[in-house]
């Protein structure tokens, strides 16, 4: 069976510090991978998606970047965090159209 | 651009009762998918139900069913025989049909559902 894991689950970082959130998928090959952000009291916003190694599409201009160094690994990064980067970040993969499988989420607080 | 609107920020229902969550969307597309996702307090979001726009028949999954009104661009979720474990935030989502859009969902703001004993 397929599983998805992301870490860390919780992160508190000062403004200006770097960020690295990691997501891995097991039990499937060549999945589409996604990073979503969920701000408090709001819906999910797609940040990045990837259809293959090294292929990253950005949906919104921002302070974040994504990379896919391996088939089942997806990383969300920032060189210098802003206060507005605080939120709940969800990694997901898809099998068929629109059927997303989400990770447990990573809560980022930027102080 | 497509938008998804959930006009009910919070709802509550007694255990074993039925509740309906509303969702409307705006699109010029003819082929698309609609979804309801559930995010319980544990935070891991899961798919509840999926509807393909070209299918007139409403999707059902056990106690969950939808009322899909394509002309009205409405996609409500009905939960029958509500259980305490149904307590969660529910998100309505839209996705255009096409290989270039696999998994790129547009989510509504969410409805928090509280099932009371």
d(CA A61, CA B27) in angstroms, rounded, equals 23
CB A61 within 8 A of CB A44: no
Could you tell me which residue, A54 or A99, shows the higher pLDDT? A54
- Please indicate if any CB of chain B lies within 8 Å of the CB of A104: yes
Number of A to B CB contacts under 8 A, please give it.
60
Query: In this predicted model, what pLDDT tens digit does every residue of A65-84 receive, in sequence order?
Result: 999 999 999 999 999 999 99
Q: A80: distance to nearest CA of chain B, Å?
A: 27
**Sheet containing A19-26: which strands, arranged edge to edge?**
A3-7, A19-26, A73-78, A65-70
Residue listed under structure tokens 């969300």: A76
Among chain A residues, CA nearest to B109: A43
- Pairing between β-strand B88-96 and β-strand B106-107 as defined by DSSP bridges: antiparallel
Residues of A in contact with B102 (CB under 8 A): 32, 51, 94, 96-98
Residue-level pLDDT at A41:
67
Tell me which residue in A34, A43, A98 faces B91 most closely, judged by beta carbons: A43
The alpha helices in B1-117, defined as continuous H runs, are none
Q: Which of chain A's residues have a Cβ under 8 Å away from the Cβ of B97?
A: 97
Distance from CA of A68 to the nearest CA of B (A): 17
pLDDT digits (tens, 9 = 90+) for A15-52: 999 999 999 999 988 899 999 998 776 778 889 999 89
Q: What is the pLDDT of residue B44?
A: 84
User: Among residues A62, A83, A64, A103, which one has the least CA distance to residue A13?
Assistant: A83
Determine contact, residues A5/A104, Cβ cutoff 8 Å.
Answer: yes
Provide the token pair at B24. 């409307």
pLDDT along chain B (117 residues), means of 10: 91 97 95 93 87 91 96 97 96 82 81 96
Which residue carries 């928090």 as its tokens? B112
Q: Distance between CA atoms of B115 and B87, rounded to whole angstroms?
A: 5
Is A100 at the interface with chain B, CB within 8 A?
yes
Q: Would you call A6 exposed, middle or buried from its count of C-beta atoms within 10 A (0-12, 13-18, 19+)?
A: buried
**Number of continuous H segments (helices) and E segments (strands) in chain B:** 0, 12
How far, in Å, CA of B83 to CA of B89, rounded? 14
Q: Which of A89, A98, A106 to mutate to test the interface with B (most CBs of B within 10 A)?
A: A98
Q: Give the one of B45, B91, B103 whose C-beta lies nearest to A98's C-beta.
A: B103
Residue A28 and residue A72 in contact, taking contact as beta carbons nearer than 8 Å = yes
Indicate yes or no: CB of A104 within 8 angstroms of CB of B104. Answer: no
pLDDT at A75: 97
* CA–CA gap between residue A94 and residue B28 (Å, rounded): 24
**CB-CB contact of B113 with B23 (8 Å):** no
Q: Looking at residue B2, what is its pLDDT? A: 83
Pairing of strands A106-110, A87-94: antiparallel
């Amino acid at each position: 069976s397929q599983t998805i894991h992301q870490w860390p689950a919780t992160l508190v970082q000062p403004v200006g510090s770097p960020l690295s959130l990691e997501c891995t998928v097991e039990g499937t090959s060549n999945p589409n991978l996604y990073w979503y952000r969920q701000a408090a009291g709001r819906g999910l916003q797609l940040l990045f998606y990837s259809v293959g190694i090294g292929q990253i599409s950005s949906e919104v201009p921002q302070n974040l970047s994504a990379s896919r160094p391996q088939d089942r690994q997806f990383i969300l990064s920032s060189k210098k965090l802003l206060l507005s980067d605080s939120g709940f970040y969800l990694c997901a993969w898809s099998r068929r159209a629109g059927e997303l499988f989400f990770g447990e989420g990573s809560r980022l607080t930027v102080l | 651009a497509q938008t998804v609107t959930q006009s009910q920020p919070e709802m509550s229902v007694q255990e074993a009762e039925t509740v309906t969550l509303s969702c409307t969307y705006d699109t010029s597309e003819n082929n698309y998918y609609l979804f309801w996702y559930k995010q319980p307090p544990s935070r891991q979001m899961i798919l509840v139900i999926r509807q393909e726009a070209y299918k007139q028949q409403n999707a059902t999954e056990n106690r969950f069913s939808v009322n899909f009104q394509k002309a009205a661009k409405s996609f409500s979720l009905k939960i029958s025989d509500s259980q305490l474990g149904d307590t969660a935030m529910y998100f309505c989502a839209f996705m255009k049909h096409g290989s270039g859009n696999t998994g790129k969902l547009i989510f509504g703001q969410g409805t928090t559902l509280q099932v009371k004993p």
